[in-house]
Structure 1
């Protein structure tokens, strides 16, 4: 397979960084909320809810705060949206960053990220040092598509087509990694080899299997 790979395309949060879902679960445990309650709020009316609007820059952070409060209250537990915004930025996974560098040395690399216009840069960081570190990772990509700037978000098929156009590659010759199955379906339908990221070790193993490249130490 490695002979025909033209590009490796990456999601960011939950792939190159630890998953925000881990932070959601910690928040839920600390406040006595049901496990995965925050994800259930985000999944309800997934194309039009507060989360979808924020990732397309259709609402401000203050508006999101109020909308998320209302949506979560309707499901039984009021959660301030501003609390959720503070949970979005994860920690970089150094071995995955090395895998990105390895891929860049061989093929084109792109990033499609559903993000929000909060914090510093595409990684939505609030800490200056971490924001700089993550900005350096984003510099590795040949192309970056941010939902908050484009106004459309995964899993809209257009966002994947735009990335392939920007990289000038055939989808059938691309590998795409994401931690959400719903975001993998359009990429797979276009012919991409897809990897659902469940853990760092699994990601590296599956990427090595898909490409024939060794796993970073």
Structure 2
């Protein structure tokens, strides 16, 4: 199959796309503490533009303030959890097939990464955070452009961050494919005219990416 000429760029999320989803780690933590399943997701989804998580990913508060605000928000739901307990859960295992897919796309299109992150993810710290930094170190140099929420001061799903990437790559939104593991982040991309792919698992993602780009992700992607 040949690359689709109408596609100019493929834009990727990082966590939950190139690495396994942090939601899996959240659920393990919740189970170990006897907390309701998906509690952390509920906390993060409530008031998602201005909660502790949003402020932290825009680098508007430091780690200590995030720790305290997250504790306030979780306590309000009846299950106190400190923000500092959640940060080590953000890392995941690298998905080699997705990295190969990125390299394949890079041969035909511009490639960019938009990631909601926090400053502490790039600082020395717990082993889990360092492993996440190692995964990023393998993947990030492959991109033509990268936007990190903690540096840009804007985070997904704000439409501005997608338009910022289009400007960096010098492409129109309608000529882009966008991949993210969160539907809330896919919606604004689609509204701007991008072909949005919600990442559920690797097989599903590569099948939809092949359909969107015209590329074939063959045996080397399965190794």
The TM-score normalised by the length of structure 2 is 0.92
Asked if structure 1 preserves the Cα contact closer than 8 Å seen for 2:91 and 2:131, the reply is no
Report the equivalent of 1:156. 158
Moved over 2 A (4+): 124-134
CA distance in 1, matches of 2:180, 2:147: 14
What TM-score comes out, normalization by structure 1 length?
0.94
Residue 194 of structure 1: aligned partner: 196
Gaps of 5+ in 2: none
Does the C-alpha gap of structure 1 residues 182 and 59 become closer, same or farther in structure 2, counting only changes over 3 Å? same
Matched, 1:132 2:134: yes
Partner Cα separation in structure 2 for residue 97 and residue 51 of structure 1: 27
Structure 2 CA distance for partners of 1:99 and 1:200, relative to 1, 3 Å: same
Structure 2 match to 1:36: 38
Deviation at 1:189, TM superposition (A): 1.0
Quick one: distance in 1 between partners of 2:174 and 2:127?
A: 34
Partner of residue 83 from structure 1, selected from 79, 85, 91: 85
What are structure 1's unaligned runs of at least 5 residues?
none
Partner of 1:92: 94
CA RMSD in angstroms comes to: 1.6
Q: Number of aligned pairs?
A: 215
Contact 1:20/1:88 (CA < 8 Å) preserved in 2? yes
Contact 1:120 1:126 (C-alpha < 8 Å) held by counterparts = no
Greater helix share, structure number: 2
